[in-house]
Chains A and B, each alone.
Chain A
Amino acid sequence: MADKILKKLYIKVWRQNNAQDKGRFETYEIENVSTGSSFLEMMDLLNNNLIEKGIDPIAFDHDCREGICGICSMFINGRPHGPDTAVTTCQLHMRKFNDGDTITVEPWRAAAFPVIKDLIVNRSAFDTILQAGGFISVNTGGVPDGNAIPISRDDAEEAMDAAACIGCGACVAACKNSSAMLFVAAKVSHLAKLPQGRIEAKARARNMVAKMDELGFGGCTNTGACEAECPKSISISHIARLNREYLVAKFAE
């Protein structure tokens, strides 16, 4: 099937010069977009047009464009990573749109994710949470034999499902409370299911949740929007595990 051409699209996009700027929406027209191009390629074309017209191009995050780095972050037509499921913005294709559409593009909105410029937000809050406990402490020395620590296949799979989190922040963007619970749950869960992660499990759950609260993320109300919009389809059952880990850790204090 040959790709179709979308003759004209209207891109209503958030423009904000810097963190202090109030910001505003601008609507730009773009012509002849192939349905086979990705959303980011469309944005590249639009930026080319803007540069030719002497307009500052739209700043947006992008890196691998393969759906694994987690850096692209646009809120498109009311949904993080746009109108498709289990994909990042770079894997979203223009075939999801129709000729003549007005596409609204916004940055992630959360107190903990301040806008740097246009569509780029500062997601270092996620790194700060990880630094609070998203690791295992190991002494230097010889690498232990992989078979020395038996792990059931189910546990390994469950840990791997959680570890699929790429930290893009779509969970926070989708959540009506701007909660980072799915991110924290994924990071706590993938270590909680492995014997190496059990050693520091209590401190991890306590410290990561405390950091998450401190950074201004909202609380979880179990709406499930994070799972539905997660590009890696990470299950909210990991949030149940985080709750369990946290409550056990707190009551042990």
Chain B
Amino acid sequence: MSKFLTASIGRKFLMSVTGLFLMLFIVVHLTVNLLLIFDDSGDLFNVAANFMATNPAVKIMEPILGLGFMIHIIWSFIISWENYKARPVKYNKQDLSNASSWSSRNMLILGALVLVFLIIHIYDFYWKIKITGSDLLPNVVINGEEMHNTYLLVSTHFKESLVFSLLYVLGGVLLGLHVVHGFWSSFQTLGINNKIWMSRLQWVARVYAILVAVGFSVIPLYFVIKF
């Protein structure tokens, strides 16, 4: 196993494994978030958010998730820098438009934009819920259990600012563009692909990417349109 993590395929292996893990997290995150639009009293979402905040298994996964993000982000910059160095003199004219998809060529840019969004997103919600607190976070009692009214914080943000809501739509679309390549690419890197599965995985990647982009966009749009 010597030098595995510094070899080209070893580095990609790390990107792939962390990428798959993060895509699994996205599914969980989106599922919980969608509860926002299925119960306007907010109870459904609050119970789910409280479960995610207090369940021991989720608590164990939280630092692992953080580590997954760190590795995925740091390695992406290392890999991109190494790849950039492999062509010291650039082409005067290069046309890749027919040969490869736009998102596959711009994973670093898309990833960096998603990272910017992620930082804003953490500041908007996670930071306020876990650390600073907010006027919009009174405690509520649901089924005899006292918990944060996270629904109030989230829904108020979306209802009050159109710009804020559109930023979240943009975040969803950027993430969709990132995973449309990332999804099938992870399997390819792990060697779990062949001529038959190539088109299948790319098809599933499109479905997954559309679900992510539409799923995350629907939530802010729901609050903007309904309220």
Which A residues form the contact surface with B (CB < 8 A)? 12, 14, 23, 25, 75, 77-79, 104, 106, 109-112, 174, 176-179, 181, 209-210, 212-213, 216-225, 228-229, 235-237, 239-248, 250-251, 253
Contact = CB atoms under 8 A, between A and B. Distances in A.
Contacts of B155: none
A241 B107 CA distance: 23
Contact of A218 (B82, B90, B185): B82
B151 to A, nearest CB: 40
A216 B83 CA distance: 9
Contacts of A216: 85-86
A217 B86 contact: yes
B86 A174 contact: no
The contact size tier of chain B is: 35 or more
Interface string B78-117: 0100110111111111111011110011010000000000
A236 B100 CA distance: 12
B8 to A, nearest CB: 4
Given A75-B91, A77-B95, A220 B85 contact: no
Interface in B105-140: 105, 107
Interface of B: 1-4, 7-13, 79, 82-83, 85-96, 98-101, 104-105, 107, 181, 184-185, 187-195, 198
Q: Top 7 nearest A-B pairs by Cβ distance?
A: A244-B191, A78-B95, A218-B86, A177-B83, A228-B99, A240-B193, A223-B100
A210 B98 contact: no
B99 A111 contact: no
Contacts of A75: 91
B11 A237 contact: no
A241 B191 contact: yes
A222 B105 CA distance: 9
B181 A222 contact: yes
Q: Most chain-A Cβ atoms within 10 A of its Cβ — which of B83, B85, B99, B189?
A: B99
Given A209-B8, A250-B4, A176 B96 contact: yes
A225 B96 contact: yes
B101 A223 contact: yes
Contacts of B90: 109
Contact of B188 (A25, A111, A240): A240
Contacts of B88: 111
Nearest to B186: A222
A77 B97 CA distance: 12
Contacts of A209: 7-9
Contacts of A106: 91-93
Contact of A174 (B96, B104, B193): B96
A250 B1 contact: yes
B12 A220 contact: yes
A152 B1 CA distance: 33
Nearest to B1: A253
Q: Most chain-B Cβ atoms within 10 A of its Cβ — which of A12, A23, A111, A112?
A: A111
A250 B191 CA distance: 13
B107 A221 contact: yes
Q: Most chain-B Cβ atoms within 10 A of its Cβ — which of A228, A242, A243, A250?
A: A243
